[in-house]
Amino acid sequence: MVERNSLWTTQAEILVKSLHSELVLNNHNWHKLKSNKYRRTAELIVSALSQIINGGKDKDIEDLIEQSLKWIKGDAKDPGCPSH
């Protein structure tokens, strides 16, 4: 990761961490939300925002944004669970 800069307040860091925790898919909601394009798009965008605020690499940020665009356009689909 890139060294943290002074662009962001501690409050901004706390807020993005909280929002990321709220939107990320987890073991409890994965099956319910894994195919919802709005939820997946939001999850990827907040992950990109978190990377921006926390000094992530430009390429990682770009990849997250590009993947979010694929979801919102309907170009990305959930491949399903291989164990089911």
Give me the tens of pLDDT residue by residue for the chain, a chain 84 residues long: 445 567 999 999 999 999 999 999 888 888 888 899 999 999 999 999 999 999 999 999 999 999 999 999 999 987 776 665
Q: What is the pLDDT of residue 40?
A: 95
State both tokens at 41. 């798009």
Q: What is the pLDDT of residue 16?
A: 96
**In sequence order, which residues have a C-beta less than 8 Å from that of residue 55 and are 6 or more positions away?**
1, 2, 3, 4, 5
> At 82, which helix (H) or strand (E)?
none
49: left (phi over 0), alpha (psi -120 to 50) or beta: alpha
pTM of the model: 0.84
Contact in structure between 53 and 13 (CB atoms under 8 Å) = yes
Q: What is the pLDDT of residue 2?
A: 46
Q: What is the pLDDT of residue 31?
A: 86
